[in-house]
Amino acid sequence: MTPKSIQTRTYAAHSPDQPLTLHEIQRHEPRPNQLKMEIDYCGVCHSDIHQARNEWKNTVYPCVPGHEIVGTVTQVGDAVKKFKVGDTAAVGCMVDSCRTCAPCKDNLEQHCENFPTFTYNGEDRVTKENTYGGYSQRIVVDEHFVLNVPANLDKAGTAPLLCAGITTYSPLKRFHVGPGQRVGIVGLGGLGHMGVKFAAAFGAEVYVISRSPSKTNDALRLGAKGVILSTDKEQMKQFDRKLDFIIDTVSADHDINAYMNLLKLSGNICLVGAPENPLSVEAFSLVFMRRNFSGSLIGGIKETQEMLDFCGQHNIVSDIEMIRMDQINEAYERILKSDVKYRFVIDMKSLA
């Protein structure tokens, strides 16, 4: 028997060089282990732009972006146990994985050896159809990949936590950042501002590393002790070998060696941005100072829930600017100009 389909309004990209437009798709009724959510808010990630414009050369059109989703449960399958109708729930960057490989069994679904099913531009493991994301009225997702939202958190401000939040929380937690450590955050954007909030909440002394002195007031407001201007040679020299850990959030091509020189002996610089071209790393900077160059990709479902619970305990959400769905193309252009503090969130009621 063919499952009943649910007509759903979305905004979709139909080619790399055309604006996103109103588009209708069919969502299927929930399977026994799935639930349906009406989407209230969806954050806008730079990855959405990369995918919509086929900058990673793998986009399947039509493409409905969006993987920072907060909504309300409206229907649950017979086998769903963790959620009920009326609950506030969230969906991040993944909606499925194989569940059987070593990383999946270790709660690291983002590193699934058989590749995770991403929330959009992925392949549904059952139907083999393309997945569609959160620029949409509703979504149907396996409950294992749905997250609880602490009741005290603002729903709109919570949405970017599902990507920008977990992307910076995960490496800070994995490398045990805490009191007595000095942490640098390269870039004060959607990812960077969350990195500052989390590192400060973990008790570290935080410095934003930026090209722009205009970021100083915001950096201090967010919890940083100061700003290191990467264009000021004297400031960079002042912090030579002074930092224990650095998160590099920059996705544009850049010289990572300048930041690496700020690390102490055995310090770690962790890349969470995704530059288009390979980065050139000075071997002697690593070898002589026993430094570490690492990377990190979002987090598993267990860790993402841990991050949301931590945010609930510390009242942490993203700094956002709310937009209507029909403002998405303008928002993309503003993101490319770094003209947002610090994450756009779409009010999905505007799509009704």
Neighbours of 72 (CB within 10 A): 16
pLDDT of amino acid 4: 67
pLDDT of amino acid 251: 83
pLDDT band of 1, cuts 50, 70, 90: very low
Average pLDDT over residues 270-296: 92
pLDDT exceeds cutoff 90 at 182? yes
pLDDT exceeds cutoff 70 at 39? yes
> What average pLDDT does the structure give for the chain?
96
Tell me the pTM. 0.95
Task: For 143-179, write each residue's pLDDT tens digit.
Answer: 999 999 999 999 999 999 999 999 999 999 999 999 9
**Domains of the chain, first to last:** 5-163+299-351 (3.90.180.10), 165-295 (3.40.50.720)
pLDDT band of 212, cuts 50, 70, 90: confident
Strands 94-96 and 88-91: unpaired
Task: For 56-104, write each residue's pLDDT tens digit.
Answer: 999 999 999 999 999 999 999 999 999 999 999 999 999 999 999 999 9
